[in-house]
Copies of this chain bind each other. A is one copy, B any other.
Amino acid sequence: MTTSPTSLDHALHAIADPTRRRILGALKRGPASTTAPAIGKHAGLCAGDIEERVHLSQPTISHHMAILTKAGLVDAEKQGQWRWYRRNEKALRRLVKGLRTQL
């Protein structure tokens, strides 16, 4: 499967920002507690966990999470009052592969 130009554009825009790469790094390390719910195969982080790790305000994090989610690099799931996030590893691999092919 090849990455279409449009999805590659969105993904590259998303990861061109160093803060969003830091957030992806925080999500990679996964949850500290064992109480975090599993989203799909992997445990996720809520916005509060991300806030603690990257030291940014809640609105700033919401802004970045919206871009990462729209680009398909992060999956979000609402459970009760909280929204949980996890990396979409398949999309991240596809991004690197698509870039290598197109460059």
A interface list, Cβ under 8 A from B: 5, 9, 12-13, 15-16, 18, 21, 24-25, 92, 95-96, 99-100, 102-103
Contacts and interface: CB of A to CB of B under 8 A. Distances in A.
7 interchain residue pairs of minimum CB distance: A12-B16, A16-B16, A96-B100, A13-B16, A92-B103, A9-B18, A21-B102
Tallying the copies of this chain within the complex gives: 2
A100 B21 CA distance: 11
Q: Chain A: interface secondary structure?
A: helix
B99 A25 contact: no
A14 to B, nearest CB: 9
A88 to B, nearest CB: 11
A99 B102 contact: no
